[in-house]
Amino acid sequence: MKLYLASQSPRRKQLLTDLGVAFEVLSIEVDESTKALESAEDYVARLGEAKARAGLDILAGRGESDVLTLGSDTTVVADQDILGKPRDYDDFADMMERLSGRSHRVFTSVAVASHESVEVKVVESRVVFAELEPEAVRAYWDSGEPQDKAGGYSVQGLGAVFIKRIEGSYSAIVGLPLRETAQLLTKRGLAVWSGALGRV
């Protein structure tokens, strides 16, 4: 069965490559707006599944049926508020003020779908930021890294210097929870780099 990653994210492509599975990439479009009273966990689960299903729709149009698609979404939550990608510097600076010196949660979903069924897992992690100086916040924005990142920072990039501690799955914070992804793929009969992962 052929696997497709329903994402153009270079981080997710690298993480899935690290699992040692063969896959191709699909470019998909989904509405990422939140719904009223929707929790962060429900939000990322819905988007992960929506991306996987959008991939299936593209493949169905090509006449491909014996396929699996993988969709994923990550969001940062502070004070119950979902922090998306910063609109501009002021929005970014407000995010950094909310994260500075505090812990926040990161939710990441992974969905694996076929034309018969879809299964979704959501992973919650916690990140603790150091106190941030205004000069560091401005310099980080000027680096160009925060502009397309949920919550305004990249855990595997320059933003790592702001982080005091991580509790949970590092790979999930980057963009794809590898343990849960391995579980879902081996359940569907795809071999990852070690057959032992099918038993985790």
Q: Which two tokens stand for residue 18?
A: 């690290």
Convert 74-91 to b/e letters by CB count within 10 Å (16 or more is b): bbbbbeeebbbebeeeee
pLDDT band at 194 (very low <50, low <70, confident <90, very high): low
Domain extent, residue 83, equals: 2-194
Residue-wise pLDDT tens digits, 106-144: 999 999 999 999 999 999 999 999 999 999 999 999 999
Output the domain CATH number for residue 49.
3.90.950.10
pLDDT > 70 in the chain, percent: 96
Chain centroid to Cα 150, Å, comes to 9
Residue-wise pLDDT tens digits, 63-102: 998 999 999 999 999 998 999 999 999 999 999 999 999 9
Q: Is the entire prediction scored with pTM above 0.75?
A: yes
Q: Which residues are the active-site residues?
A: 73
67-78 and 103-113 beta bridge pairing: antiparallel
In this predicted structure, the answer to whether residue 197 has a pLDDT above a threshold of 70 is no
Helix (H) or strand (E) holding 45: helix 40-61
Report the pLDDT value the prediction gives residue 195, as an integer from 0 to 100.
52
185 vs 180: CA distance, rounded Å: 9
**Is there a domain that residue 28 lies in?**
yes
**Is there a domain that residue 21 lies in?**
yes
**Is there a domain that residue 59 lies in?**
yes
Report the pLDDT value the prediction gives residue 191, as an integer from 0 to 100.
82
Nearest to 43 by CA among 98, 89, 105: 105
pLDDT > 90 in the chain, percent: 87
> How close are the terminal C-alpha atoms of the chain, in Å?
22
**Is there a domain that residue 64 lies in?**
yes
**Is there a domain that residue 86 lies in?**
yes
Taking all residues of the chain, what is their mean pLDDT, rounded to a whole number? 94
**Is there a domain that residue 199 lies in?**
no
Phi, psi for residue 198 in degrees, rounded to 5: -65, -15
Domain count, the chain: 1
**Is there a domain that residue 81 lies in?**
yes
In this predicted structure, the answer to whether residue 176 has a pLDDT above a threshold of 90 is yes
**Is there a domain that residue 200 lies in?**
no
